[in-house]
Each structure stands twice: as structure tokens, then as C-alpha cells.
């Protein structure tokens, strides 16, 4: 069985500041991938960043970066220099042979 846990239902951040979203997961597989997806009010699912489990180096995509701790099965997302357009729900997802999602964290960026 695989589970993805996001323990923060909601986060609020001031524009230009940094926010970190937490995610823990459980899998018995050794080869897997982790993703963060963004869902704005339009409902569209947008891939933000991905991480290969066999890579120790943390992935970065512009203002988005992850802290991947394989032994702890932790995969947090850091959004730097937050912008109003970052307001959305963010989902952590685990793909070992099926894609499973966490419950989501709603991020609100305040002007």
C-alpha cells in the first residue's frame, strides 16, 4: 500500500516571502518518483516539480525547490519569492507504479 500525507490543510504567506509545504509518504518500492502539482481555481492540474528517488540532489524549478529526505520519506516544497499567481492548492504525489496523491494544501498569497 502507498500513502501520501500532507499535514497542512492551509498556508498563508505574504507576497515576496517564502513558504514551505510538507509531505511524507510511504512505499515499499525502491524505485519511485515524487511530484508536486498545483491546482489553481481554474481546476487545471499543473506539474510544478518532480524528483527521482535515486537522485540525492534536490530538484529545483525557478522559485520552486524541494527538500527530499529519502530515509525519512519526506518531500517538502519551498516556494520562494511568493507571487499572487502562486495562490492555489498544492498536491504532493507519489508514483511507484500508480500515481497517488496527498489531500492537498491550500496556499494563499497575500498582497
- Positions in the binding site for another protein (CB under 8 A): 4, 6, 9, 31-33, 35, 43-45, 47, 50, 52, 91, 95-104
CB of 22 to another protein, least distance (A): 14
Q: What is the DSSP string of 21-64?
A: E--EEE-S-SS-EEEEEEE-TT---EEEEEEETT--SPPEETTE
In the bound state with another protein, the residue whose beta carbon lies nearer, of 14 and 31, is: 31
The set of cell numbers assigned to 58 is: 534536490
Taking the least distance from each CB to another protein, the nearer of 16 and 103 is 103
The count of other CB atoms within 10 Å of the CB of residue 63 is: 14
Comparing CB distances to another protein, the nearer of 68 and 91 is: 91
Q: Which residues, at least 6 apart from 44, have a Cβ–Cβ distance to it below 8 Å?
A: none
Cβ 84 to another protein shortest distance, Å: 22
- Write down the least CB distance from residue 16 to another protein, Å: 29
Amino acid at each position: 500500500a502507498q500513502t501520501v500525507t500532507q499535514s497542512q490543510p492551509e498556508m498563508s504567506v505574504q507576497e515576496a516571502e517564502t513558504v514551505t509545504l510538507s509531505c511524507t509518504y510511504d512505499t515499499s518500492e525502491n524505485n519511485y518518483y515524487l511530484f508536486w502539482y498545483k491546482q489553481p481555481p481554474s481546476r487545471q492540474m499543473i506539474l510544478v516539480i518532480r524528483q527521482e528517488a535515486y537522485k540525492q540532489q534536490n530538484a529545483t524549478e525557478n522559485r520552486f525547490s524541494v527538500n527530499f529526505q529519502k530515509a525519512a520519506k519526506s518531500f517538502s516544497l519551498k516556494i520562494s519569492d511568493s507571487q499572487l499567481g502562486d495562490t492555489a492548492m498544492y498536491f504532493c504525489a507519489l508514483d511507484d507504479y500508480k500515481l497517488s496523491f496527498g489531500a492537498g494544501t491550500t496556499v494563499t498569497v497575500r498582497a
